[in-house]
């Protein structure tokens, strides 16, 4: 099974990390370069690995309204987290300082 990783450079504005879709209208069309991947099902969720590739700066993960250091999941420098996604969903990232690069690696795409 191949992965279609992408690298997101973060800033002080929330950026889309990943979104899942069935790819069938009216859902958003699948486009791995923009972080839109095929949705997983309840019995077979889509694994997504998120890795903060920065050596010093943390990022915050959350919904579209995520703020730096605000409510959400703080991913420290060099750390990774796995999400198992079923259905249509999305996750955003914002830098807490600097411009960290965050890698998104979905499985089975």
Per residue of the chain (109 residues), what is the pLDDT tens digit? 456 788 999 999 999 999 999 888 888 888 888 888 888 888 889 999 999 999 999 999 999 999 998 889 999 999 999 999 988 899 999 999 999 999 999 987 5
β-pairing, 36-38 vs 15-21, is: parallel
How much is the pTM?
0.89
Beta bridge partners of 8: 102
Is residue 54 one of the residues assigned to a domain?
yes
Is residue 1 one of the residues assigned to a domain?
no
Is residue 10 one of the residues assigned to a domain?
yes
Give the Cα-Cα-Cα angle 49, 3, 60 (nearest 5 degrees).
25
Residue 34 in contact with residue 106, Cβ under 8 Å? no
The domain total for the chain is 1
DSSP 8-state code for residue 31 = B
CATH of the domain at 72: 2.60.120
Q: Dig out the tokens for 18 from the structure.
A: 């990943």
């Amino acid at each position: 099974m191949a992965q279609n990783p992408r690298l997101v450079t973060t800033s002080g504005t929330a950026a889309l990390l990943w979104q899942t879709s069935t790819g069938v209208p009216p859902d958003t069309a699948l486009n791995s370069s923009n972080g839109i991947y095929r949705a997983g099902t309840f019995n077979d969720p889509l694994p997504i690995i998120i890795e903060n590739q920065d050596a010093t700066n943390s990022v915050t993960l959350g919904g579209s309204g995520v703020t730096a250091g605000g409510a959400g999941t703080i991913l420290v420098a060099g750390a990774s987290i796995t999400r198992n996604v079923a259905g249509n969903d999305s996750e955003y990232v914002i830098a807490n300082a600097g411009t960290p690069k965050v890698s998104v690696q979905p499985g089975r795409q």
